[in-house]
Amino acid sequence: MATEKGSQVWHANTAIIRFDGEDVGFVQNLQVQDDSGADAVYQVGTGEPIEINHNRYSYSVTIGKLTLRQNAPKFQFAMSKLGQFPPVDIEAIDRDYGTRFVVRGAEPVNRSLSINMNQRTAENVRMMALGVDS
């Protein structure tokens, strides 16, 4: 791989789901989005905004494939109803530089289950979170 001297390239090689400090699963595809809830503020008689107001922050997470560890009895994803899940943290880890970011207090709001022959049972999940720490 070609690199520029002194450059640092981040990879999120691993994403781990944690509940009560215990690793309960891993993620194959992860997308994290934060939104400041920005609104344009207008003045009477102008068509252009005079200010951008950031006032409703939100954080969402989309997991393309969530696989739970069999030894995670405290967190049984498939057995719970939406709205009854405890919040989890999701840590994206770079193999060279350590933790890239941590999603805090994520709770599932939408999911789908996929069962395929000769593969682990996996869930596609959309979550809302309390925050993202870089």
For 107, the token pair is 């709770």
**pLDDT for 79 beyond 70:** no
The two structure tokens encoding residue 55: 């006032």
For residue 69, what are its two tokens?
């560890």
Reported as a single tens digit per residue, the pLDDT across 17-26 is 888 888 888 8
Alpha-carbon distance of 67 to 73, in angstroms, equals 14
Task: Give all domains of the chain, ordered by start, each with its CATH number.
Answer: 14-133 (2.40.30)
- Identify which of 86, 78, 82 has the alpha carbon closest to the alpha carbon of residue 121: 78
pLDDT band at 12 (very low <50, low <70, confident <90, very high): low
